[in-house]
Amino acid sequence: MNSLDRRAVTSSPINPLLANRHSTRAFADSELTDAQVASLLEAARWAPSCGNTQPSRFIVARTGTVTFKRVVAQLNPGNQKWAAAAAALIVGVRLTANEKGPLPFAAYDLGQAMAHLSFQALTEGLTVRQMAGFDAAGLAAEFGLDETLVPTTIAAVGTAGDPAVLEDDVRAPDVAPRQRIALDELVIGD
C-alpha cells in the first residue's frame, strides 16, 4: 500500500473522499467483485444528463479477460506500462446521436457519469485514473461500435499500490506533491 499522504491541501473544506482522491498509476494485485462493478455502473447510470438523454455507455474489461487484453492493446505504450496492472479498465463511450438527433452535450454528460463512477469507487476503497492516451478509432473498430458510439476516456480502476513498483518514467507524478491552481484563478469576473 502507498504510504504517501496524498490528501489534497484545500483552501475550503471538501468531502474527505474527494480530498483523498488521487489518480495513481500504481495498482496492487487485485480484482473487482461483481458487486463493485455493479455499484460503479449504477453510480454512473444515475449521473445527470442533458434532457435525461443518458448518452453514456461503457466497455468493462476486467483483468485476466480477453476483453481486458483487447483494451490494453489500444492504449498508448506509456499507458500500457502501468494500466495493465489495474483490476479493470472501463472505457467511457459517448452516444453522439439518438432517434431525436445529435446529442451536443454527450461529452459533458459522459464526464458527469465518469465523475459519479469515480466517487463511487472511492466509497468502495478503490482508486481511478482516467486517461485519454489510447486509439479511439482502434477501440471502436475492435469492439464493432457504430459511428454514433465514440470511445472518449478509459478509467483504470483498482486498489492503489506502492508507486515504488513503477518504472522511473511513470513514477514521478505518483510521488510528487499534488498541485492545483488557486481557487481565485478558477472564477472569471467578479
Q: pLDDT of 167-179, one tens digit each?
A: 887 887 777 777 8
First to last CA, the chain: 44
Residue 3 has pLDDT above 90, yes or no: no
Mean pLDDT of 138-160: 97
Nearby residues of 87 by Cβ (< 8 Å), 6 or more positions away: 27, 30, 31, 32, 62, 63, 126, 157, 158, 159
Residue 47 has pLDDT above 70, yes or no: yes
Residue 9 to residues 23, 36, 153, 162: CA-CA distances in angstroms?
Answer: 16, 29, 27, 21
4 pLDDT tier (thresholds 50, 70, 90): low
Alpha carbon distance 167, 135 (integer Å) = 23
**131 DSSP β-pair partners:** 154
Give the percent of the chain with pLDDT over 90: 71
18 pLDDT tier (thresholds 50, 70, 90): confident
Q: What is the mean pLDDT of the chain?
A: 92
**88 DSSP β-pair partners:** 62, 157
Alpha carbon distance 78, 93 (integer Å) = 22
pLDDT tens by residue, 81-124: 999 999 999 999 999 999 999 999 999 999 999 999 999 999 99
Alpha carbon distance 41, 175 (integer Å) = 30
Mean pLDDT of 48-72: 98
pLDDT tens by residue, 32-45: 999 999 999 999 99
Torsion angle of C-alpha atoms 82, 152, 148, 106, degrees rounded to 10 = 150
- Cell 489510447 locates to 134
Q: What share of the chain is helix, strand, coil (3-state, %, to 5)?
A: 40, 20, 40
Residue 164 has pLDDT above 90, yes or no: no
- Cell 475550503 locates to 12
Question: What phi, psi does 38 have (nearest 5°)?
Answer: -60, -40
